[in-house]
Amino acid sequence: MTVTDVPSRPHGKIGAVTQHAHGSERTLCECELFKVYHMDLNGKKRAKSNTVSALLVLEGQATLGYADGEIKLSKGDSVLIPKDCEVTLHGKGQIIYTIA
């Protein structure tokens, strides 16, 4: 099953790839209301957003850890993360994440 196709060509500043210890990230869309990123996860990323965010796993597997436990994620899974929730995403895969 194909979850979605990630656009291959950048549009202006959109599309810049940044390398991190946990893999790489590329901005897919950005406006005053939200930002959408493609993450090539290969390790552990810690995050806390002051807004609601969403994850969609395109390929691979990851574990989303939070204060009360963890959720195993695999291809096709999506999750909403509440405002001010500290999370750790650990695994290997392709993930779309949106910050409102």
Residue 18 lies in a domain: no
Residue 56 belongs to a domain: yes
Contacts of 4 (CB under 8 A, 6+ apart): 56, 58, 96
In a domain, 2, yes or no: no
Instruction: Check which CATH number belongs to the domain holding 56 and give it.
Output: 2.60.120.10
Mean pLDDT score of the chain: 88
Q: Is residue 19 part of a domain?
A: no
- Asked if 75 and 1 touch (Cβ cutoff 8 Å), the reply is yes
Does 81 reside within a domain?
yes
With beta carbons less than 8 A apart as the criterion, state whether 55 and 79 touch.
yes
pLDDT at 56: 97
Asked whether residue 44 carries a pLDDT value surpassing 60, the answer given is yes
72 domain residue, yes or no: yes
**Cβ proximity of 18 and 25 under 8 Å:** yes
Total domains present in the chain: 1
Is residue 32 scored above 70 in pLDDT?
yes
pLDDT digits (tens, 9 = 90+) for 54-92: 999 999 999 999 999 999 999 999 999 999 999 999 999
77-88 burial, b if ≥16 CB within 10 A, otherwise e?
Answer: beeebeeeeebe
pLDDT tier, 12 (very low <50, low <70, confident <90, very high otherwise): very low
